[in-house]
Amino acid sequence: MTVRSLGWPVMVTLGILAAWEAVVGALGVKPVLLPRPTVIAQVLWTKAPLILEHLWPTLYEIALGFLLSVVGGVLVAVLVTYSTIVRKGFYPLIVVSQIVPKVAVAPLLVVWFGLGGTSRLLLAFLIAFFPMVINTATGLTSVDEDFVRMARAYMGSRWQIFTKIRLPHALPLIFGGMKISITLAVIGVVVAEFVAAQRGIGYLIVMANGLLDTPLMMAAITALSVMGLALYGVVAIVERAVIYWQQPTDPARGGFA
Amino acid sequence: MRESVTLAGVGKTYASGVEAIREVAFQVAQGEFLTLLGPSGCGKSTLLTMIAGLLAPSRGTIAVDGAPVQGPRRDVGIVFQSPVLLPWRTVLGNVLLPIEMLRLGRRPWEVRARDLLAMAQLTDFAAKLPHELSGGMKQRVSICRALVHDPSLLLMDEPFSALDALTRDQMGQELLRIWELYRKTVIFVTHSIREAVFLSDRVLVMTPRPAAIGFEIDIKLARPRTLDMQESDEFNGYVGVLRRAIETGGRR
Ligand SMILES: Nc1ncnc2c1ncn2[C@@H]1O[C@H](COP(=O)(O)OP(=O)(O)OP(=O)(O)O)[C@@H](O)[C@H]1O
Ligand SMILES: [Mg+2]
Mean pLDDT, chain B cut into blocks of 10 residues (252 residues total)? 87 91 93 92 92 93 92 93 94 95 90 90 93 92 93 93 85 89 92 93 90 89 89 93 85 54
Q: Which of B10, B13, B14 to mutate to test the pocket of ligand 1 (most atoms within 8 A of CB)?
A: B14
CB B101 within 8 A of CB B108: no
Q: What is the pLDDT of residue A2?
A: 63
Q: Indicate the residue of A155, A168, A171 with minimum beta-carbon distance to B72.
A: A155
Q: What is the pLDDT of residue A3?
A: 66
Taking residues A17-22, report their average pLDDT: 92
Contacts 24+ apart (CB under 8 A), B24-28: B24/B60, B24/B206, B24/B211, B24/B212, B24/B213, B25/B60, B25/B213, B26/B204, B26/B213, B26/B216, B27/B3, B28/B3, B28/B4, B28/B185, B28/B187
Pocket lining: B43 vs ligand 1, CB cutoff 6 Å: yes
Q: What is the pLDDT of residue A254?
A: 46
Query: Is the Cβ of A152 closer than 8 Å to some Cβ of chain B?
Result: yes
The angle subtended at Cα A131 by Cα A127 and Cα A132, nearest 5°, is: 105
Pairwise CA distance, residues A186 & A176, whole Å: 16
- Topology at the third CATH level for domain A34-243: MetI-like fold (1.10.3720)
- Decide: residue A88, CB within 10 A, 0-12 exposed, 13-18 middle, 19+ buried: exposed
Asked if B54's CB is within 8 angstroms of A153's CB, the reply is yes
* Ligand 1 atom with the shortest distance to the CA of B46: 18
Q: What is the pLDDT of residue A107?
A: 87
Contacts 24+ apart (CB under 8 A), A30-37: A31/A214, A31/A215, A32/A212, A32/A214, A33/A214, A34/A214, A35/A214, A35/A215, A35/A218
Distance from the alpha carbon of residue A82 to the mean position of ligand 2, in angstroms: 28
Distance from CA of A50 to the nearest CA of B (A): 46
DSSP-assigned letter for residue B149: T
How would residue A257 be classed by pLDDT, with cut points 50, 70 and 90?
A: very low
Nearest to residue B124, comparing CAs of B173, B170, B91, B158?
A: B91
Q: Does domain B1-75+152-160+184-252 have CATH number 3.30.1700.10?
A: no
Pairwise CA distance, residues A21 & A23, whole Å: 6
Distance from the alpha carbon of residue B44 to the mean position of ligand 2, in angstroms: 6
Taking residues A151-180, report their average pLDDT: 95
User: Which ligand is in closest contact with the Cα of B156?
Assistant: 2
CB A21 within 8 A of CB A37: yes
Pairwise CA distance, residues A221 & A232, whole Å: 16
How high is the ipTM of this complex?
Answer: 0.88
Q: How far is CA A252 from CA A52, A71, A182, A234, in A?
A: 31, 28, 19, 17
Count how many Cα atoms sit within 13 Å of the Cα of residue A136 in the half-sphere of its side chain. Answer: 24
Length of chain B: 252
Pairwise CA distance, residues A144 & A127, whole Å: 31
Is the sign of the CA dihedral A199, A205, A208, A209 positive or negative?
negative
Mutation to test the B interface, candidates A149, A154, A169, most B Cβ within 10 Å? A154
Pocket lining: B52 vs ligand 1, CB cutoff 6 Å: no
Q: Can you state the angle between helices A102-113 and A167-195, rounded to 10 degrees?
A: 70
**DSSP states of B26-57 as a string?**
EEEETT-EEEEE--TTSSHHHHHHHHTTSS--
Query: Is the Cβ of B129 closer than 8 Å to some Cβ of chain A?
Result: yes
B74 to chain A: which residues are within 8 Å by CB? 155
Non-local (6+) Cβ contacts of B33 within 8 A are B179, B186, B188, B199, B200, B201, B202
List helix spans (H) across B132-248: 135-147, 165-182, 193-199, 233-247
SS3 B117: helix
Among A70-79, A97-106, B70-79, B202-211, where is mean pLDDT lowest? A97-106
Q: Indicate the residue of B74, B84, B131 with minimum beta-carbon distance to A155.
A: B74
- Decide: residue B3, CB within 10 A, 0-12 exposed, 13-18 middle, 19+ buried: middle
Mutation to test the B interface, candidates A145, A148, A155, most B Cβ within 10 Å? A155
Residues 155-194 of A with CB under 8 A from B: 155-157, 160, 164-165, 168, 171
Distance from the alpha carbon of residue B225 to the mean position of ligand 2, in angstroms: 26
Query: Is the Cβ of B73 closer than 8 Å to some Cβ of chain A?
Result: yes
Asked if A151's CB is within 8 angstroms of B88's CB, the reply is no
Asked if B82's CB is within 8 angstroms of A153's CB, the reply is no
Pocket lining: B14 vs ligand 1, CB cutoff 6 Å: yes
Residue ranges per structural domain of chain A: 34-243
What is the torsion angle, in degrees rounded to the nearest 10, for the CA atoms of residue A106, residue A112, residue A118 and residue A124? -30
Residue ranges per structural domain of chain B: 1-75+152-160+184-252, 81-150
Q: Which amino acid is at A104?
A: A
Pocket lining: B207 vs ligand 1, CB cutoff 6 Å: no
Nearest to residue B19, comparing CAs of B196, B248, B212?
A: B212
